[in-house]
Amino acid sequence: MKKITMQLNDKKNLYVLLVTLLLLFLLLELFIRSNLHMYCYGCRPSNDDKIIYELQPNYRIVSLNAEICSQGLADRFFSLNKPLGIYRIAVIGDSGSFGWMVGPQNSFPKLLEKMLNEKQGKNYEVINFSVPGYNTSQELELLQKKVIKFNPDMVILNYCDNDMYICNYIKPKINFLNYLYNKSFMVHFLLRRIDRKLTYTRFHKIWLHFKKNILGMYYYEQLIYPYPGLEETIYINNNPPAERELVPRKYWYMLGLENYRIHLYKFIAFLKENNIEFISSGLFDKDGSTINRKLGIQNICDFSDFFSRDRISYSEVRLSNSDPHMNRYGHRLCAGYLYETILSIIDRKNKI
């Protein structure tokens, strides 16, 4: 009898221990989830696998001087219902139009909004949907799933020469072995701490094997990204890769000139179906410019052409020799060039 009682007590103690550990796990999970600074750099996975990732709502990206609103925009809050008498412009792009390092408030979309309202009357809203690292395939999906809900009258798509590369983050393939790594904030948090400790030790190769074969990381030489469910892509010359051999097969549809052309064509077709004006803007290289013109795009705002016209050198408009993103002066100039382009569209419409 005594032996049976001891066995029952042992089982009871085991259950109590398991329940206690489970509750502790859940409490730690909730604690980490409620403290964004412990795991977030500003991006989180999107529910849409073609968008892949999005800006973290209600979050301040300190390094970029950017406040993200509750809608996940580097901008203020906008109602889905467009106010009466407002002409709404949506800007879609990556870090070039986001306001990298200068702050979204100093980006050309917001400077354009200010310029239009000061010179043309307070009837304009310019919404900045830009997200660092996006390519044209993501921008097409963003247009169709999110931007259209805001009922824009015009869309400005900002070109960057890495629009034909893989994006900044991808989603790892989830399986039984890596499920908690991709879904649990606490497990992910612990693994990230271990990653930092082991990366530069004699256990480095064993740890890389674990990251590749157990965690299922494609770019396993990278440090684990702080947010579960995302993996940072390998950077080559400060850019994600464009070569197929360096990219998971499921993301090949993003790469190369032909895919850029296909996505841009679909982008234009979608806007035409919805009777929305279109401007293709950016610092175009030869390939990007050629594809835009072959598709018959009328409204092209090529910042390179405007810089040449005004005898502006790239050294004057970039952040530094090592960072090609535009400085505040560059953003002011681009806002002015877009303003000129928009006025020419309005003038052309009035003459018809």
Please name the residues in contact with 318: beta carbons below 8 A apart, sequence gap of 6 or more.
324, 325, 326, 327, 330
Count structural domains, the chain.
Answer: 3
Q: Are residues 65 and 124 in the same domain?
A: yes
* pLDDT above 90: percentage of residues in the chain: 72
Do 135 and 190 have their domain in common? no
Tokens of 169: 């983050």
161/176 same-domain check = no
Assign 261 a pLDDT band (cuts: 50, 70, 90).
Answer: very high
Phi, psi of 186 (to 5 degrees): -70, -45
| Res 3 pLDDT > 70 | no
pLDDT in tens, 280-291: 999 999 999 999
12 and 51 co-located in one domain: no
337 token code pair: 């060039």
For residues 184 and 117, membership in a common domain is answered with: no
Backbone phi, then psi, for 103, in 5-degree steps?
90, 135
Residue 238 neighbours by CB distance under 10 Å: 9
The residue count of the chain comes to 352
pLDDT tens digit sequence for 179-216:
999 999 999 999 999 999 998 888 899 999 999 999 99
Same domain, yes or no, for 160 and 79? yes
- Do 76 and 122 belong to one domain? yes
pLDDT score recorded for residue 86: 94
What is the pLDDT at residue 6?
Answer: 52
d(CA 87, CA 75): 17
Evaluate if residue 19 carries a pLDDT over 70: yes
Nearest CA-CA partner of 229 in 174, 167, 187, 186:
174
Domain that holds residue 284: 43-166+254-351
| Average predicted confidence (pLDDT) for the chain | 91
pTM here is 0.91
Stretch (H or E) spanning 125 = strand 124-128
pLDDT digits (tens, 9 = 90+) for 122-169: 899 999 999 999 999 999 999 999 999 999 999 999 999 889 999 999
Residue 243 falls within a domain, yes or no? no
> Does 238 reside within a domain?
no
Q: What is the pairing mode between strands 124-128 and 300-302?
A: unpaired
The answer to whether residues 281 and 295 belong to one domain is yes
pLDDT band at 313 (very low <50, low <70, confident <90, very high): very high
352 pLDDT band, cuts 50/70/90, is low
Pair 140, 184 in one domain: no
In this structure, the answer to whether residues 27 and 59 fall within a common structural domain is no
Domain containing residue 57: CATH number: 3.40.50.1110
pLDDT of residue 9: 60
Q: Is the pLDDT of residue 11 over 70?
A: no
